[in-house]
Structure 1
């Protein structure tokens, strides 16, 4: 029912966006007639590379009315070339943050505490989402900005010393906040969390003040997660987050993973769904085997189907008997679209 309604919405001349209405002319199938199951989303080509150049106004569905809806514009990290852009509409932001709040409540993350986000703000969605989350959950948002593109450029050009100095600059700002302010939740990237764990003062401040550590934006090994969880920050919840601007959202780590089990992520299905495929054939791999992640977003505000991500993962059965795939043990591919993938600090 969701797919049928979404295809009607995005491909009807009265309600669809200019981008999809024009793109429909190049398809060898009729989405309104032929897309009825999740498997049918594989009929679509991966269009995210086209989002590097398309006018953002052309991404807003006409069904929102003649009065322009004020979207935000968020960009990808630029890991694989020029950034891609999406129109982030208010109802998408509301739906996503409401789901985030439910997921954090289910994991016992307290409300009424302040948040510190150490990550990129505009043009990235990382900062704005966490700011909304802090407000929505009754806390004050503190932020330390991060330019991941600059760090990746330093790494790519072999300027390791510049990257190190930039990380130190970021951590000095974190230190000033944690010394003087009450913070209950920290949301940052694995490399920066590891750097804080290796700094005696920062590790002590986090241990005394912070009850929840959320990591995302880069991969974390099982060994590192176990070390942080059991030895460095044993009194805090350590929760992973996996998402993509290009799929309009993300997902939190499934609760209850053992010390030697990889972090597993269930998407907010059915609006976001995952498949794990053999990149050479596009066929879904068996459960427990590694493949490349394909994400799809299907909602009123956004249609981005069949997006091959720059990550590999183990295919896992979804929680609660849902459809689609869950994913575990996320790792970046070495190259993507002919470009070397550099995680940097994000």
Structure 2
């Protein structure tokens, strides 16, 4: 099979998933194409990826080793098969909620392909004309900042932004300083308010916690309803009652476009259009490249559709191999779209603790 099967497609429904996984193993575990991290790590595995991983079902053989990316040199994460000088969008880190951040390489080709798949905002811009974006999201080492920059370009507009450091808010909360955390969040809202008052904003991208703060101020609600054509939210969760209130009463007529993802899979989901689960959004991953399982936390076995369990995420592309990442979230397992592998998820919410430490979401 030609390695062309590994080229990212925005409609991969005709890809044989098992064949894709076998070719992916050959890419990441052969000296000519693999990265130093996986070529070195292979010797410590208790199976041979080249012979023992014959399809999607065998991916469970990989252990949960995402913590090793806290110390891995980014040079060791670049697959040789991409050739010298493959354009890199950035080096992005996990949020640091559960310990020292993990670092990953985001390649331009992958990010562009992912955004071509998630073209919801471009569809809005095609109907309404160019759209400027206000991104009140983590930037710097966080992937979401670059995603919103490229979204704004794809919508034919410019991006306005506000500095947001979610790690500082989490630190304040962990130190027992909720008042300081609240003051910081208000500082963020004040800066965003100035942009909304003075600029033409067609898309608002932010987190559920901050979106709820915007909703507290009638002036800001009026400004958003006047010009914003779409609201993109990404974060730990947006509970069903709040989501319904925002959609029907606070921002009626403005689509709320949810994303559930993680830097550990270098991407996220699309909210399934015109369908939900008892009022909760259904999140579909970019199959077969982003792959979800939902497991019983006690047995490690996958739960039935409609049942709740712990989320396990994988990134499967020629740009990175990040299998079986046990996330800090619980979710309900949902049947994926036709032709997709793995699962979709809904009713996502963080666990109380992870790795022996309490999970603090703060403004995210």
TM-score w.r.t. length of structure 1: 0.96
3-state SS, counterpart of residue 276 of structure 1: strand
Q: How far is the alpha carbon of 1:203 from its aligned partner? A: 1.1
Q: How far is the alpha carbon of 1:139 from its aligned partner? A: 1.4
CA distance in structure 1 between the partners assigned to 2:98 and 2:127 by the alignment: 34
Residue correspondence of structure 1 range 172-191 to structure 2 within 5 A: 172-191=190-209
Q: Deviations over 1:62-87 (max 9, x none)?
A: 11224465451000110001101001
Q: Deviations over 1:201-231 (max 9, x none)?
A: 1111111111111111221110000000001
Among candidates 26, 35, 45, match of residue 44 of structure 2: 26
Q: How far is the alpha carbon of 1:282 from its aligned partner? A: 1.2
Q: Which stretch of structure 1 is more off in the superposition, 230-239 or 252-261?
A: 252-261
Q: How far is the alpha carbon of 1:128 from its aligned partner? A: 0.7
Q: Which stretch of structure 1 is more off in the superposition, 175-184 or 68-77?
A: 68-77
Q: Which stretch of structure 1 is more off in the superposition, 130-139 or 15-24?
A: 130-139
Query: Are 2:283 and 2:344, in contact at CA under 8 Å, matched by a contact in 1?
Result: yes
- Is 1:301 the equivalent of 2:319? yes
Q: How far is the alpha carbon of 1:238 from its aligned partner? A: 1.1
The corresponding residue for 1:219 is: 237
The corresponding residue for 1:82 is: 100
CA distance in structure 1 between the partners assigned to 2:33 and 2:358 by the alignment: 39
CA distance in structure 2 between the partners assigned to 1:190 and 1:67 by the alignment: 38
CA distance in structure 2 between the partners assigned to 1:111 and 1:127 by the alignment: 23
CA distance in structure 2 between the partners assigned to 1:307 and 1:90 by the alignment: 23
- Is 1:196 the equivalent of 2:214? yes
The corresponding residue for 1:121 is: 139
The corresponding residue for 1:143 is: 161
Gap change, CA 1:106 and 1:139, over 3 Å in 2: closer
CA distance in structure 1 between the partners assigned to 2:36 and 2:265 by the alignment: 19
The corresponding residue for 1:268 is: 286
Query: Are 2:124 and 2:229, in contact at CA under 8 Å, matched by a contact in 1?
Result: no
The corresponding residue for 1:59 is: 77
Gap change, CA 1:258 and 1:44, over 3 Å in 2: closer
- Is 1:318 the equivalent of 2:336? yes
3-state SS, counterpart of residue 254 of structure 1: strand
Q: How far is the alpha carbon of 1:261 from its aligned partner? A: 2.1
Query: Are 1:218 and 1:345, in contact at CA under 8 Å, matched by a contact in 2?
Result: no
TM-score w.r.t. length of structure 2: 0.91
Runs of at least 5 residues in structure 2 that lack an aligned partner in the other structure: 1-18
Please give the root-mean-square deviation of Cα atoms over the aligned residues, in Å: 1.8
Query: Are 1:117 and 1:130, in contact at CA under 8 Å, matched by a contact in 2?
Result: yes
Q: Deviations over 1:318-343 (max 9, x none)?
A: 12353210100100011111111011
Gap change, CA 1:212 and 1:200, over 3 Å in 2: same
Runs of at least 5 residues in structure 1 that lack an aligned partner in the other structure: none
3-state SS, counterpart of residue 113 of structure 2: helix
- Is 1:241 the equivalent of 2:259? yes
CA distance in structure 2 between the partners assigned to 1:255 and 1:227 by the alignment: 18
CA distance in structure 2 between the partners assigned to 1:109 and 1:240 by the alignment: 20
CA distance in structure 1 between the partners assigned to 2:99 and 2:242 by the alignment: 29
CA distance in structure 2 between the partners assigned to 1:104 and 1:343 by the alignment: 30
3-state SS, counterpart of residue 25 of structure 1: helix
The corresponding residue for 1:252 is: 270
Gap change, CA 1:134 and 1:103, over 3 Å in 2: closer
CA distance in structure 2 between the partners assigned to 1:270 and 1:106 by the alignment: 26
Q: How far is the alpha carbon of 1:137 from its aligned partner? A: 2.1
Give aligned pairs, total.
346
Gap change, CA 1:308 and 1:113, over 3 Å in 2: same
Q: How far is the alpha carbon of 1:255 from its aligned partner? A: 1.2
- Is 1:161 the equivalent of 2:179? yes
